[in-house]
Amino acid sequence: MNIVPVVEAAFAQAGIDKTEVSAVAFTRGPGLIGSLIVGVSFAKAFALSRNLPLIEVHHMQAHVLAHFADRPHPQFPFLCLTVSGGHTQIVLVRDYHDMEVLGQTLDDAAGEAFDKTGKLLGLDYPAGPLVDKWAQQGTPRFPFPEPQIPGLDFSFSGLKTSFLYFLREQREADPDFIANNMADFCASVQSRIVSVLMNKLVKAAAQTGITTIALAGGVAANSGLRQALETTGQKLGWQTFIPAMAYCTDNAAMIGIAGYYKYLAGQFAEQTVTPVARWG
């Protein structure tokens, strides 16, 4: 049970006392049910013991609201490409509490595409950061087809299969293909995943006429994606927002921020609240 020492450490690091807390925000979902149960149970017990209101937070909305940890932050309405190990979404953010998913993945998430490709290469999980590291030393010289998915939705499972078949074919001719081409292969994979994400983002911006564009989620830490957003943003006259690295991958600050805006709006949860693994 790590949650008790983690909470103690957080209070110590923040330099505040438990009596100063006005509400308890927690992740209700979506996510792995085991971790959600621990968080929800602890939040409920903590709130009950101190007679504090509870605030439920949606994990993906919190990734978007992580932008409000820093200034300048995006003005509403803005588009947010939210990319993580479990999600790939283009979100129209009208307000702190009003978000609409315009497009999302029909199968694997972008982070999953990085992680599964990394596994093919024998890299440790989560492989996203490692693929990124190798990619920065390589040239994207292996071409992979762009998935043809209508609208603003995504699909990464076909792409993952084409990476697999490509590697199989190359290794038949050269058993050391991976060792000899790690950087270029990672650069090619990363470049294709990034271009799939960017092409849909450009389409969403054109369709909505919105030019304030943000990135969020674990994959927003990807160097290729961060650079592509900047370059494309400059070309198309977007105002772009990329969170600091610490606010890209899962973090508690973003749950606190989302909780803060719900607190201001008076949106509280009941003690009977339960976690939800899948939450639209």
Shortest Å, Cβ 32 to ligand ADP: 8
Q: Tell me which stretch binds ligand ADP (CB under 6 A): 3-11, 79-87, 196-204, 254-262.
A: 79-87
Measured from each CB, the residue nearest to Mg ion is 84
84 binds Mg ion (CB under 5 A): yes
Would you say 184 or 250 has its CB closer to Mg ion?
A: 250
229 binds ligand ADP (CB under 6 A): no
How many residues bind Mg ion (CB under 5 A)? The answer is 2
CA distance 27 to 275: 8
249 binds ligand ADP (CB under 6 A): yes
Asked if 96 and 261 touch (Cβ cutoff 8 Å), the reply is: yes
Measured from each CB, the residue nearest to ligand ADP is 218
Binding to ligand ADP (CB under 6 A): which residues in 117-156?
Answer: 126-129, 132
Query: 10: Cβ–Cβ under 8 A, 6 or more apart, which residues?
Result: 252
Q: Pick one of Mg ion, ligand ADP, none as the site partner of residue 261 (Cβ within 5 to 8 A by kind).
A: none
Shortest Å, Cβ 57 to Mg ion: 12
Q: Which of 89, 222, 255, 256 binds ligand ADP (CB under 6 A)?
A: 222
Query: 91: Cβ–Cβ under 8 A, 6 or more apart, which residues?
Result: 60, 64, 79, 80, 81, 82, 99, 100, 101, 102
What is the sign of the dihedral through the CA atoms of 189, 191, 196 and 201?
positive
Q: What is the 3-state secondary structure (H, E, C) of 173-216?
A: HCCCHHHHHHHHHHHHHHHHHHHHHHHHHHHHHHHHCCCEEEEE
Would you say 84 or 212 has its CB closer to Mg ion?
A: 84
Using the 8-state DSSP alphabet, how is residue 96 labeled? Answer: T
Would you say 77 or 129 has its CB closer to ligand ADP?
A: 129
